[in-house]
Structure 1
Amino acid sequence: MAEAGDQALLRRFLLGLAEGMNAAADSVDKIRDTLVQVSRANGREDTDFVVLPTVIIIQTGAGEEGRVAIRSAVNASFRFDQIAALYRLIDDAKRAEIAPLDGIKRLNDIGAMKPSHGWVVRTFGHAVLTTGLALLLAPTWEGALVAFVLGAFIGVAKLVRSPTLQIVFPVFAAFVCAIAVFLIAPYFAVGDPIKLLIAPLATFLPGGVLTTAVVELAAGQMLAGASRLVFGLVQLSLLAFGILAAGTLVGVGSSSYVPLQTNEAFPWWTAMVGVLLFAIGNYLHFSAPPRTFGWVLLVLLVAYGGQVVGSALIGASVSGFIGALAMTPVVLWIATLRHGAPSQLTFLPAFWLLVPGAAGLVGLTEAIGTTRGFEDFTEALISIMSIALGVLIGTALYRVVHQGAEELADFHIEVPASLTEEEKPPFWARLVPGTPRTFWRRRRRRPTPDHRGDASSTPAATEESSPFSQATES
């Protein structure tokens, strides 16, 4: 009974870890690898997992003794402080430094964590985040001011914690922001109105979801990757619908959905200010731990620098490949440091900075609202694929350098114990004395009446018939 109780606690603990990593937007292949390591650290080699974005199945034990636990994952998302606490717990669990029961208590504490910043600071952080992204996408001072105001409005609205409202809130946010931008654009030099719309909607864009989906598909996780890809495209469609509905209400022409070229030249340091503001906004809005700010800023600078270099060398549509390829080893290296930051905490802001979701939203809006067709949307999908490919290659190169290139596929099917037959030794082996099931041993166990009194044969017969000897040989 004690062992069964320990297995039940371990299953619940592993389910909680998987659900937490899902809330941290981690890929299912990484979640499964983590669960395997934690299970082995707790002395369980006979554990199997099925991890999907919304369903988690864990089995402990093999054959008829196996027990299965199923959890339907909730649609939750963690702040950066919760992600940091979760990965500290995972590191302890991998080293078997925490019991499953204590791990379950810590998971509950992580889920109930209050933000380290108040609602005013978090709202201001969202406004700063939006302003920094606006300086990168539509660099005009008027556009940055409009983005700050819209970012503050969205930051306040996001404080409402209602699962029902969260379903329709992205459409509402896109609708309100689009109306404001379309009404202001004729009177103020806000730059490209479509790109300016991306800034306040940045935290709704499924850039990380789409990139994770492509990574999972490339890793062979077809169910998880396909479901995430459809989910991300539906999110983009809802945002595009909100923009198009606002354009229809205001009465804008189809040309208003086409990105405009900005003639105003900004100094080079404007982009650096935008990246810095973007990092500060993420730190404040998502309540990131103070020690992780420098690491997030470093990854953002590497990602943006790689994107700029890629745009100059191979073009803007696949520039995200260079940015993702440059940032991925840095992210994984930071995660291995003693005072580093979890990979997801630095990955997510970099995904938003590379803006795969923004490119998809612009392309989808143009495809529906104009007569230009799906050319721009196709370019957006190519941009998403290039970023995912950069993440894949960067991860592979890092693992090859630090773990070696040799990997063996584990393909083995256990046969039920009740159907397993004991392997019989070959006939020639049974002719050799001293081997299991030898003919000579059976003959020596049957002493004849003429040799019972023979002192030389009695010890041998006694040794062969000893229970300890039989148990040792068998």
Structure 2
Amino acid sequence: MAEASEQALLRRFLLGLAEGMNAAADSTDKIRDTLVKVSSAYGRDDTDVVVLPTVILIETGSGEGGRVAIRSSLNASFRFDQIAALYRLIEVARRAEITPLDGITRLNEIGAMKPTHGWVVRTFGHAVLTTGLALLLAPTWQGALVAFVLGAFIGVAKLVRSPTLQIVFPVFAAFACATAVFLIAPYFAVGDPIRLLIAPLATFLPGGVLTTAVVELAAGQMLAGASRLVFGLVQLSLLAFGILAAGTLVGVASSSYVALDSGEVFPWWVALFGVLLFAIGNYLHFSAPPRTFGWVLLVLLVAYSGQVVGGALIGASVSGFIGALAMTPVVLWVATLRHGAPSQLTFLPAFWLLVPGAAGLVGLTEAIGTTRGYADFADALVSIMSIALGVLIGTALYRVVHQGAEEIADFHIDVPAALVEEETPPFWARLLPGTPRSFWGGRRRGSTPAERADASPPPQLAEKSAPSSQATGS
């Protein structure tokens, strides 16, 4: 009874960890690997895990003694301070230094954490984040000022916490921002109006979702990857609908939906200043721990530098590949440091900076609102896949250098213990105990049910027999 209770607590703890990692926007393959390692640390090597974006199943035990726990994952999202606390707990759980009951208590505390910064600071942080991104996407001083005001407006609106409103809020945000930009654009040199709209909508863009979807598809997680891909495309469609609805209301021409050249050339340091503002905005708006700011800024600089180099050498459509390839090893390296930062905490801002979702929104808006067709949207999908490919290759290179090449998992199915065939030595070998098996060979007993019923192995050999090894496939 005590063992069954301990298994139930462990299953609940693992379910909580999986739900937390889902809220941190981690990929399902990484969640599964983490849960298997945590379970092994608690002495349970017979744990199997199925993780989907909205459903989690965990089985402990095998055969008739196995028990399954299931949980419908909530559509929650963690701030950066909660992500940092969650991954600190995971590191402790990897070493089994906390009981499952205390771990569940700690998970509940993480879920109920209050933001480190007040609403004024978080709103200001969203405005600064928007301004930094505007300097990278539509670099004009007037556009940066408009982006700051719109970012502050969206930051205040995001303070309202309602599951119902969260479904329609992206459409409202896109409609309000697009209406303001389309009305202001004829009178102020805001640069490209479509790209300027990306800045205040940055935190709604499913760039991380789409990239994670492609990574999961490449890793063989077809259900999770396909569902995330559809979800991300629906989010893009909702944002594009809000922009087009605003354009219809204001009465703009179809040419207004086409990305334009701002015509203003800023000095090179303005882009670095934009990256710095973007990092500061993320730190303030998402209440990131102070010790992580430097790491986030480092990853952002590496990602942006890689994107710039990729754009100069290869082209804009696949420049994100170089940016993702450059920043992924840095992200994984930082996560291994004692005073580093969790990978998701540095990955997410880098995803938003590489703006695969921004490119998708521009392409979808142009495809629907103009006669240019879907060529731009196809280019956006190529950009998304190039970033995902960069993440995959960067992860593989880091693992080869840091951990060495991993063996390919074997396909293996466990046979029930009662049906396992056992080796029996010949009669003369049983008369000479201790004789090496290489000398007397062996034959397989129990090749048929009649033979298995006819005889049983000696007690001393039965004690030495072991069940088939656990499946190593992931």
TM-score by length of 2: 0.91
In 2, Cα distance between the equivalents of 1:409 and 1:57?
22
Residue of structure 2 in register with 1:303 after alignment: 303
Residue of structure 2 in register with 1:325 after alignment: 325
Change in Cα spacing, 1:469 to 1:230, as seen in structure 2 (3 Å) is closer
Q: Following TM superposition, by how much is the alpha carbon of 1:416 offset from its aligned partner in structure 2, in angstroms?
A: 2.3
Residue of structure 2 in register with 1:267 after alignment: 267
Change in Cα spacing, 1:38 to 1:472, as seen in structure 2 (3 Å) is closer
Given that residues 192 and 260 in structure 1 are in contact (C-alpha distance below 8 angstroms), is that contact kept between their aligned partners in structure 2? yes
Change in Cα spacing, 1:64 to 1:108, as seen in structure 2 (3 Å) is same
In 1, Cα distance between the equivalents of 2:218 and 2:461?
55
Change in Cα spacing, 1:395 to 1:255, as seen in structure 2 (3 Å) is same
How big is the alpha-carbon RMSD for the aligned residues of Structure 1 and Structure 2?
1.8
Secondary structure at the aligned position of 2:316 is classed as coil
Residue of structure 1 in register with 2:119 after alignment: 119
Residue of structure 1 in register with 2:232 after alignment: 232
In 2, Cα distance between the equivalents of 1:36 and 1:400?
21
Residue of structure 2 in register with 1:443 after alignment: none
AA at the equivalent of 2:405: A
AA at the equivalent of 1:232: G
Residue of structure 1 in register with 2:102 after alignment: 102
Q: Following superposition of structure 1 onto structure 2, how do residues 350-361 of structure 1 map, counting pairs within 5 Å?
A: 350-361=350-361
Q: Following TM superposition, by how much is the alpha carbon of 1:412 offset from its aligned partner in structure 2, in angstroms?
A: 2.0
Residue of structure 2 in register with 1:380 after alignment: 380
Q: Following TM superposition, by how much is the alpha carbon of 1:192 offset from its aligned partner in structure 2, in angstroms?
A: 0.1
Secondary structure at the aligned position of 2:117 is classed as coil
In 1, Cα distance between the equivalents of 2:294 and 2:68?
43
Q: Does 1:202 align with 2:202?
A: yes
Given that residues 429 and 435 in structure 1 are in contact (C-alpha distance below 8 angstroms), is that contact kept between their aligned partners in structure 2? no
Change in Cα spacing, 1:264 to 1:92, as seen in structure 2 (3 Å) is same
Q: Following TM superposition, by how much is the alpha carbon of 1:425 offset from its aligned partner in structure 2, in angstroms?
A: 1.8
Q: Following superposition of structure 1 onto structure 2, how do residues 139-158 of structure 1 map, counting pairs within 5 Å?
A: 139-158=139-158
AA at the equivalent of 2:290: P
Secondary structure at the aligned position of 2:70 is classed as strand
Secondary structure at the aligned position of 1:75 is classed as coil
AA at the equivalent of 1:199: A
Equivalent pairs, count: 443
Residue of structure 2 in register with 1:425 after alignment: 424
AA at the equivalent of 2:4: A
Given that residues 321 and 388 in structure 1 are in contact (C-alpha distance below 8 angstroms), is that contact kept between their aligned partners in structure 2? yes
Secondary structure at the aligned position of 2:87 is classed as helix
Change in Cα spacing, 1:435 to 1:95, as seen in structure 2 (3 Å) is closer
Alignment identity in percent? 86
Change in Cα spacing, 1:237 to 1:417, as seen in structure 2 (3 Å) is same
AA at the equivalent of 2:52: L
AA at the equivalent of 1:81: D
Q: Following TM superposition, by how much is the alpha carbon of 1:137 offset from its aligned partner in structure 2, in angstroms?
A: 0.2
- Where in structure 1 are there 5+ consecutive unaligned residues? 437-466
Q: Does 1:246 align with 2:246?
A: yes
Q: Does 1:39 align with 2:39?
A: yes
In 1, Cα distance between the equivalents of 2:135 and 2:421?
73
Q: Following TM superposition, by how much is the alpha carbon of 1:408 offset from its aligned partner in structure 2, in angstroms?
A: 2.8
Deviations 1:293-346 (A, max 9, x none): 000000000000000000000000100000000000000000000000000000
In 1, Cα distance between the equivalents of 2:409 and 2:423?
30
Residue of structure 2 in register with 1:73 after alignment: 73
Change in Cα spacing, 1:116 to 1:470, as seen in structure 2 (3 Å) is closer
In 2, Cα distance between the equivalents of 1:470 and 1:14?
38
Residue of structure 2 in register with 1:163 after alignment: 163
Secondary structure at the aligned position of 1:303 is classed as helix
Given that residues 63 and 417 in structure 1 are in contact (C-alpha distance below 8 angstroms), is that contact kept between their aligned partners in structure 2? no
Residue of structure 2 in register with 1:335 after alignment: 335
Q: Following TM superposition, by how much is the alpha carbon of 1:435 offset from its aligned partner in structure 2, in angstroms?
A: 7.9
Q: Following superposition of structure 1 onto structure 2, how do residues 125-140 of structure 1 map, counting pairs within 5 Å?
A: 125-140=125-140
TM-score by length of 1: 0.91
Secondary structure at the aligned position of 1:317 is classed as helix
Residue of structure 2 in register with 1:445 after alignment: none
Deviations 1:57-112 (A, max 9, x none): 00000011000000000000000000000000000000111111110000000000
After TM superposition, the runs of 4+ consecutive aligned structure 1 residues lying more than 4 A away are 426-433, 467-474
AA at the equivalent of 2:422: E
Change in Cα spacing, 1:429 to 1:113, as seen in structure 2 (3 Å) is farther
Change in Cα spacing, 1:172 to 1:423, as seen in structure 2 (3 Å) is same
In 1, Cα distance between the equivalents of 2:392 and 2:408?
19
- Where in structure 2 are there 5+ consecutive unaligned residues? 436-457, 466-474
AA at the equivalent of 2:223: L
Deviations 1:218-272 (A, max 9, x none): 0111010000000000000000000000001111110000011121111111101
Secondary structure at the aligned position of 2:317 is classed as coil
Change in Cα spacing, 1:153 to 1:473, as seen in structure 2 (3 Å) is closer
Of 426-435 and 218-227, deviating more is: 426-435
AA at the equivalent of 2:204: F
AA at the equivalent of 1:425: T
In 1, Cα distance between the equivalents of 2:461 and 2:149?
85
Given that residues 295 and 346 in structure 1 are in contact (C-alpha distance below 8 angstroms), is that contact kept between their aligned partners in structure 2? yes
